[in-house]
Amino acid sequence: MKTTLKREITSGRILDAAYRAIAARGWGAVTLREIAEESEVALSQLSYYFGNKDGLFAAVLERMQREYAENLAAKLRNATSFQERLERLIDYNRLLLKENADLYRNFLEFFNFAMASPEFKKQVTAFLAGIARAIEEQITQKQKSNQKLASFSSSAITHFILSASFGISLQHLLTPKNKDVEAGFDLIKTALGIVFSADAKDATRIS
Amino acid sequence: MKTTLKREITSGRILDAAYRAIAARGWGAVTLREIAEESEVALSQLSYYFGNKDGLFAAVLERMQREYAENLAAKLRNATSFQERLERLIDYNRLLLKENADLYRNFLEFFNFAMASPEFKKQVTAFLAGIARAIEEQITQKQKSNQKLASFSSSAITHFILSASFGISLQHLLTPKNKDVEAGFDLIKTALGIVFSADAKDATRIS
DNA sequence: AAATAAATCGGACGTTCGTACTAGTTTGAG
DNA sequence: CTCAAACTAGTACGAACGTCCGATTTATTT
């Protein structure tokens, strides 16, 4: 018991330090010595627990993915309508950006890194596809007749929300003070809301 | 004459090689020796022309910005309505993504890098603000009464388009085969088109 | 043609990186 | 109490990096 506890404590501290270091200076610029110092652990411990630098990188990514997915699932749990789910997805992304900007910062880092590494590319792609699918699954049953969005698949709409959220976040990270950037989240809602209200004339409920 | 010519040829070749190398492997992983070899130039030439690695990086970024801005300006030149300008902006981004994916790839790299470097952050921020302003300038005179978008400033709309375009591009770079991602561009148009048509009942021209 | 400037080149320097190695310490089961 | 396994710590090494410098070639000017 204590063994695993110790293991988790140490490796967890390393992961935390790595997470913070990546957000602060970028993965390429971060050194293992830096992470070791910040986590108050000997350098050799990093090799011991994660093998090599790529292994540590992958571990950080994996934990980020898991946390994001779990939190998102919790947010969506008792949401009924598709529109409500979309709204919560958007709100979730917005909340993360405000209260956990490092997460987005690191996601960007990983995305960026993935483009040069086929292995990570596969992982990041699978992650995105997983989120998209989770949202999409609850669309098909709800969205039946929609004039304005008829030409767009549910997958396209989902990907659009993800894309836009991420783009907004990216810009927000660069210019956190610009309120017009953050307004993009509202714009997604308004735009899609209008779109969806096309076939909801009879039931115009505002959640 | 020949002097300046030679200078431009050599430095241009270095910039080209750097540009390609960044797109292929990322700035952090790229080495000056790699760039020197690909541009068939001695390693010391890079220092000679660009001082140091950061200088070369900045030069590549500067050229990218100039080209993007110039091409965009050309695309927007004889567009009249605001809606037409927006559409061309979106189409331009879409075209770049298809025919010049490296540009987006490198923009992402720069954005990423900027987050860890206050100096580059300022430059990238100014670049984004410049594009946004260029578009925005032609909004205020056109957009007067719009019910649905009344609560959104023209700046917010512009930033939204930039954000969404960039987010879509980012996802497209990861999964180029997914057509649903690219459909995001159409979704922007549809969403904004519907939004705008609210006050265009009298003149519903399709450009 | 001589002289000055610009451009190019190869090589070497010092630093820092990721990784590997080994000896010492702690831990928990038999 | 013993001992093997898990863990920690310090150190060292080879490689690769950005940068710098002197010599050489090429071009321009006087």
Distance of CA A190 to the CA centre of its chain: 22
> Which sequence spans correspond to the domains of chain A?
1-51, 64-197
Is the CB of A124 inside 8 Å of chain B's CB atoms?
A: yes
pLDDT of amino acid B24? 95
Region A114-137 average pLDDT: 87
Work out the mean pLDDT of chain A and round it to a whole number. 83
Per-residue pLDDT of chain B in tens (207 residues, 90 and over written 9): 434 567 789 999 999 999 999 999 999 999 999 999 999 999 999 999 999 999 999 999 999 999 998 998 888 888 877 778 888 888 999 999 999 999 999 999 999 999 999 988 999 999 888 888 877 776 655 554 444 555 788 888 889 989 999 999 999 999 999 999 999 999 888 877 655 554 443 333 333
Residue A196 or residue B180, greater confidence: B180
Topology of B63-199 in CATH?
A: Tetracycline Repressor; domain 2 (1.10.357)
The highest-level CATH class for domain A1-51 is mainly alpha
**Dihedral (Cα; B67, B47, B121, A162), 10-degree rounding:** 60
Q: Which residues contact B148 (CB under 8 A, 6 or more apart)?
A: A190, A194, B195, B198
H-state helical runs in chain A: 2-25, 32-38, 43-50, 53-76, 82-99, 101-114, 118-136, 154-174, 179-197
Contacts of B26 in chain A (CB under 8 A): 28, 112-113, 115-116
Q: Is the pLDDT of residue A155 over 70?
A: yes
Superfamily designation of domain A64-197: Tetracycline Repressor, domain 2 (1.10.357.10)
What pTM, to 2 d.p., does this model score?
0.86
pLDDT band, residue A157 (cuts 50/70/90): confident
Is the CB of B127 inside 8 Å of chain A's CB atoms?
A: no
Contacts of B155 in chain A (CB under 8 A): 180
Q: Measure CB to CB from residue B171 to each of A128, A175, A191 and give the nearest one.
A: A128
pLDDT of amino acid B11? 96
Contact B163 A156 (CB under 8 A): no
Q: Is the CB of A4 under 7 A from strand C?
A: no
pLDDT band, residue A148 (cuts 50/70/90): low
Contacts by residues B13-19 (CB-CB < 8 Å, ≥ 24 positions apart): B13/B39, B13/B40, B13/B41, B14/B39, B14/B41, B14/B45, B14/B46, B14/B49, B14/B50, B14/B56, B15/B56, B15/B59, B15/B60, B15/B63, B18/B56, B18/B57, B18/B60, B19/B60, B19/B63, B19/B64, B19/B102, B19/B106
In whole angstroms, what is the distance from residue A139 CA to residue B92 CA? 31
